[in-house]
Structure 1
Amino acid sequence: MNDAAETVQSTNEEAAGVPQTLAELFTMSAERYGREDALNYKRDGAWQKISSSNFVERARNIALGLTSLGLRKGDRAAILAANSPEWTLADAGCQFAGIIDVPIYTTLAPEQVAYILNDSGARVLFLANREAHTQIAEALGRCGSIEKIVFFDGADADLDSAISLEDLEAAGARLKQDQPERADELTTITTGSDIATLIYTSGTTGEPKGVMLSHTNLISNVIASAEQYSFADLDVSLSVLPLSHVFERMGMYVYLMNGMAVHYAESIEKVPENLKEIHPTIFIGVPRIFEKVYAKARLTALQSSPLRERIFDWAIDVAKEYALTIEAGEHVPGALRVKHNLADKLVYSKLRDFFGGNLRFCITGGAALSDEIWLIFTGAGIRIMQGYGLTETSPVISSNNPRGSRLGTVGKPIRGTSVRIAADGEIEVSGPGVMRGYYHRAEATLEAFTEDGWFRTADIGELD
């Protein structure tokens, strides 16, 4: 999207009291909701909490701490760590400082990490701990732009080029005391058209490309994709997907904007335990998660007894029949309703209990959700809203929602986004969420758009 369009939108949104930058989103949310448990994480067997006001204060100190290291607006800082409140704090600190953050998957090979660091020219690297550093230490030696490593775990910050996140925050707090005008600048340093993040896509061929997403890209997507869901500050969420993925990142901004209590899963292995502990009302996951939940439930029935296996399979058939009946807008026959009620007591209730027993709905994307899985979960009382999007579109293009969901589709385009189908069936998109381009890839950027400015998704689809 061009700068002129972003300026018009930003001006209109400013008048309506809508945040124009991510820093404004964080600040407005803290002022509006004032949660004592905005961010929640488990340490030493107990859940700890960070208030929304403390989150903003710490993010501002991180921003000033980065400034004290010599970073300025437009510089890049990479984040290589698993989900944690420190990840979100590092991201927020960068946004307050006008620094472009570069999220990196923890599963990438050292050579891939080095490529992203070199291509982005990142000057600072946020790492979880010394173990993470050891894994990429050799590759880091070939990354000439990195000047400082910030460890989330302060006990590991014993390298000459390292500092702990705690010490970085302390440096920011000192700068705020000594030069209060620098702190005031944080409220005006960025605009909606500024690049907020650089996300590298794996791609199918060639080296990964850095997708440039502006504040307007992300905020417009957060607002438009969430408006049909009726999110509220009473909702509870569990962060499971990696924050380096734009889908989870957008979800995090939705949680914060709507004043929800965010909980970070301890690990993938601990997700079932964490779900039972916090009883989320909202769950964001890729289709593979729901496939695994179903497969595990069926395996449990299979290993239990032949009778339980038959009961489980019968209940699944009932769930699919029930969901198809509702989907068709037909009256549910009495016999089917009786079978469904019995199956609910025997099987479905256990599926819902796996997710904590308090879900309003799930949201999925990142890959296609099979009709069978949708029917099974919908029939079991677990509504799954499937959407579609790409990193290059911030990410949501279209989505089903509680006000309108249809089997076999990815819903209607979100507000402000237009979709058309090219002659060869390719999906083309236009709207405020479409990226600014690929970093240092002018030719690739040009190829990604049609002559009249629509983004080519490289996906095939049809409009219904």
Structure 2
Amino acid sequence: MSEAAAAIDDRPASVAVDFLDRVREIPDAEAYRFPSSLPGGGTAWKSLTWAETAARVKAIAAGLTALGVAPTDRVAIVAETRIEWILADLGIVCAGAATTTVYPSTNADEAAFILEDSGSTIVFAENEAQVAKLRGERKAGRLGDVRHLVTFDGTPDGTPDTGADGDWVLSLAELEDRGRGILAEDPELVDRLVAAIERDQLATLIYTSGTTGRPKGVRLTHDTWAYQAAAQQQMAITDRGDLQYLWLPLAHCYGKVMISGQLRIGYPTAVDGRIPKLVENLPVVKPTFMAAAPRVFEKVHNSVYTRMKAEGGAKYRIFTWAVGVGRKHVRARQAGSTPGVLLDLQYKLADRLVYGKLRDLFGGRMKACISGSAALSDDVAEFFEAIGISVLQGYGLTEASAGSCVNRLGANRIGTVGLPLPGTEVRIAADGEILLRSPAVMTGYHNNPDATADALEPDGWLHTGDIGEIDPDGSLRITDRKKDLIKTSGGKYVAPSDIEGRFKGLCPYVGNIIVHGNNRNFCSALITLDADALAGWAAGAGDGLADLPYADLVATPQVRALIEGYVAELNAGLQRWQTVKKFAILPRDLSVEHGELTPSLKVKRIVVEREYAALLDEMYDGTLVK
């Protein structure tokens, strides 16, 4: 057995073991850093050592047992990324239970479905808004087996503020107090629970949206995360001297996987899920690495260019020269050639004049970032490589616990998602689909054997739905998606056909609609209108609209306002990441004659997007939409 294989195979049954090992090994070292509100306003960063973290985690684990949570029971978390999310998750893990993750932005109906389908019995709810949402679903009888809410910031039941009887809602402090009472009588309880965890025991349920219908619960075992932790240690992208900045949503597998490696390796992590604070926090925290979705890098790239262009003059000329030099230097290294003496000298000068100042935006110590959840533009990746911050693009999906391939530090192959993780197998099927097999792959979809059979082969190979190829050096390159499913640069899956169908049901004037957004930071739409239906509307609208030809009519502000109303109605029924932020009305309907429709009148999405590529780019150019 190779040394690499041995490092992966010599892993515990659960990251709970990794966690307790770190506590014993470096109890007084910093584990987490997080923002805390000051009495007079503002925030300050506080820290928890590994020993302090363990004290709270063990209290939470013991408190959960006091509420009747047994090994393999599901406990949900509905909250933004914050230190309490991590403490709750570790408490669930150390109790031998399984975490059901729920985005706090999930609407009440879908949140209730996830909690009921998962069989969750306890829910950590972030604040009053989440408590109110779930309380309403409880009254309607749609929360299944949920017995208690534990709130991070909300008001517990039985207080003058709530006027409620009983203890359906507890505070996190109350849960920890109960746990400490139990540990006073049985201090070894949590150690026994961790030792009893089996490798193939359910650890996490993450619900991911499909093309239609309800989301599917991905079943990930304790071994899944233990494997990811061991693989991260083996790749040596990080070490104990690093400081991670973690803002990723922890309801997503990408955020979860960044916790697992930390527990194994032992570096501290600064936690703050408030995206608007990201730019402000980086120079303060001064992290050495960070994982993010492509949109973050796109925003930084675009804002730097916009700001420098606005300054103009000599500064802009120096900036464009420096970036050009950096790109040439990167391309030479990517091609495997030597940049040359002159280019090296120019690069060093550009670094002193420009690159160093740009790195200061990230705190000045950032050695690398990891990009995942969607494709990263080669142009953006090249820009960051040029300024001295490698953005290592990776690849994975929820069904494989986020990490399957990633570029390596010092060997970043721009345009690829890198080499497979140690212990992960990748192959390309006859139709070009990427197949994966590793300990990171799910055991199946919760309560959904048919979907499981479609995704997993009996011998463990996972169908990804992505099309790709493997370079001669073994790096994977993603070339397309097999299914009609788009993924925003924020990492969210969107089913365009579902949204298009909804709009056609709402708007009586629509001809065709094409929802666009793959690798973009929001969804947009190209809309055509039915000429006859629109003519009927124009006849009663006045202002001489009835006399206008179709192309002129659809360009009027009155028609624009008409369609905006229907788009707003559409968006009201969608999740935030599905909403159509911008749309354009095309000057004519799609047709078979122009090659945009098949003879059976199905839209050729690729043809339409190619034909109107410039129009689509205009809707995203220079626009940042949250």
TM-score bracket relative to the smaller structure: over 0.9
Q: CA 1:36/1:103 → structure 2, altered by over 3 Å: closer, same or farther?
A: same
Matched, 1:241 2:248: yes
Which blocks of at least 5 consecutive residues in structure 1 are unaligned? 1-11
Is structure 2 residue 285 aligned with structure 1 residue 292? no
Out of 417, 430, 433, the position equivalent to 2:440 is: 433
Contact map agreement 2:30 2:268 (CA 8 A) in 1? yes
The equivalent of 1:275 in structure 2 is 282
CA–CA separation in structure 2 for the residues paired with 1:393 and 1:102: 16
Q: Return the match for 1:93 from 91, 94, 113.
A: 91
Report the Cα distance in structure 1 between the residues aligned to 2:30 and 2:231, rounded to whole angstroms. 26
Alignment correspondent of 1:78 = 76
Helix, strand or coil: the match of 1:122?
A: coil
Instruction: Give SS of 1:212's match.
Output: strand
User: Is residue 122–residue 146 contact of structure 1 (8 Å, CA) maintained in 2?
Assistant: yes
Letter in 1 for 2:143: C
- Check whether the contact 1:320–1:372 (CA below 8 A) recurs between aligned residues: no
Shift of 1:188: 2.5
Which residue is equivalent to 2:23? Answer: 30
Cα contact 1:419–1:429 (8 A) shared by 2: yes
User: Residue 143 of structure 2: SS of its match in structure 1?
Assistant: coil
Aligned partner of 1:401 in structure 2 is 408
Structure 2 unaligned regions, length at least 5? 1-5, 472-626
2:28 and 2:13 map into 1 onto residues whose CA distance is: 22
Q: Cα gap change, 1:348/1:136 in structure 2, threshold over 3 Å: closer, same or farther?
A: farther
Rounded to whole Å, the distance in 1 between the matches of 2:225 and 2:68 is: 27
- Alpha-carbon distance in structure 1 between the residues aligned to 2:96 and 2:373: 28
Identical counterparts, % of pairs: 37
- Preserved contact between residue 126 and residue 152 of structure 1 (Cα < 8 Å): yes
Q: Specify the SS of the correspondent of 2:101.
A: strand
Q: Which residue of 2 aligns with 1:114?
A: 112
Secondary structure, counterpart of 1:41 in structure 2: strand
Q: 1:129, 1:156 within 8 Å by CA — same for their partners in 2?
A: no
How big is each residue's C-alpha offset from its partner over 1:277-299, in whole Å with a ceiling of 9 and x where there is no partner?
11101111111111110111111
Q: Which residue of 2 aligns with 1:125?
A: 123
1:199 alignment counterpart = 206
Task: Please list the CA deviations of residues 229-259 of structure 1 after superposition, one character each: whole Å capped at 9, or x if unmatched.
Answer: 2522211111111111111111112123211
Deviations 1:185-220 (A, max 9, x none): 323231111011101112232211111111111111
- 1:5 alignment partner in structure 2: none
**Conservation of the 8 A alpha-carbon contact between 2:308 and 2:315:** yes
In structure 2, what is the Cα distance between the partners aligned to 1:70 and 1:438?
26
In the TM superposition, what is the alpha-carbon distance from 1:105 to its structure 2 partner?
1.2
Instruction: Give CA-to-partner distance per residue, 1:171-197, whole Å, 9 cap, x none.
Output: 111112234564453232311110111
Following superposition, the deviation at residue 57 of structure 1 comes to 2.2
Report the secondary structure of 2:30's partner residue: coil
Distance 1:35 1:138, change over 3 A: same
CA deviation string 1:298-356 (max 9, x = no partner) = 11112223443333333322221111011112222333233323332332222211110
Q: Which residue of 1 aligns with 2:556?
A: none
Map 1:256-275; keep pairs closer than 5 Å: 256-265=263-272, 267-275=274-282
Give the C-alpha shift of residue 137 in structure 1.
Answer: 3.9
**Distance of 2:72 and 2:385 partners within structure 1:** 45
Equivalent residue for 2:228?
221
- 1:42-441 equivalences under 5 Å are 42-43=35-36, 44=38, 45-141=43-139, 142-153=142-153, 155=155, 158=159, 160=166, 161-180=168-187, 182-265=189-272, 267-441=274-448
Matched residue pairs, number?
Answer: 452
Residue 358 of structure 1 aligns to a residue in which SS? coil
| Matching residue's letter, 1:143 | L
Matched residues in 2 for 1:123 and 1:436: separation? 22
Rounded to whole Å, the distance in 1 between the matches of 2:173 and 2:399 is 34
Which amino acid counterpart does residue 66 of structure 2 have in structure 1?
A: S
User: 1:300 & 1:140 partners in 2: Cα distance?
Assistant: 50
Q: One-letter code of the match for 2:32?
A: L
Counterpart Cα distance in 1 of 2:18 and 2:201 = 15
Task: Quickly say closer, same or farther: Cα 1:117–1:214, change in 2 above 3 A.
Answer: same
Q: Is the 8 A contact 2:370 2:393 kept in 1?
A: yes
CA distance in 1, matches of 2:191, 2:241: 32
Determine helix, strand or coil for the equivalent of 1:186.
helix
- Give the secondary-structure state (helix, strand or coil) at the position aligned to 1:224: helix
Per the alignment, in what secondary structure is the counterpart of residue 119 of structure 1? helix
Note if contact 2:233-2:264 (Cα within 8 Å) is conserved in structure 1.
Answer: no
Is residue 35–residue 259 contact of structure 1 (8 Å, CA) maintained in 2? Answer: no
- The answer (yes or no) to whether the contact 2:126–2:154 under 8 Å persists in 1 is no
Q: What's the CA shift for 1:56?
A: 1.6
Code of the residue aligned with 1:29 in structure 2: it is R
Q: Does structure 1 conserve the Cα–Cα contact (< 8 Å) formed by 2:390 and 2:412?
A: no
How far 1:14 moved relative to its partner?
Answer: 11
Structure of higher CA gyration radius: 2
Separation in structure 2 between the aligned mates of residue 346 and residue 310 of structure 1, nearest angstrom? 12
State TM-score, norm by structure 2: 0.69
1:150 touches 1:165 (CA, 8 Å); kept in 2? yes
Contact 1:285 1:364 in 2 (8 A): yes
Q: Do the aligned residues in 1 keep the contact of 2:205 with 2:220 (CA within 8 Å)?
A: yes
Q: Distance in 2 between matches of 1:391 and 1:327?
A: 30
The one-letter amino acid of 2:149's match is: I
Look up the SS of the partner of 2:404 in the other structure: strand
Decide whether aligned partners of structure 1 residues 183 and 20 sit closer, same or farther in structure 2, where only a CA change above 3 A counts: closer
Name the Cα RMSD after superposition.
2.0
Partner SS for 2:199: coil
Task: Give the SS at the match of 2:238.
Answer: coil
**Which stretch shows the higher mean deviation, 371-380 or 51-60?**
51-60
Q: CA deviation at 1:440?
A: 0.6
TM-score by length of 1: 0.92
Q: Secondary structure in 2 aligned to 1:40?
A: strand
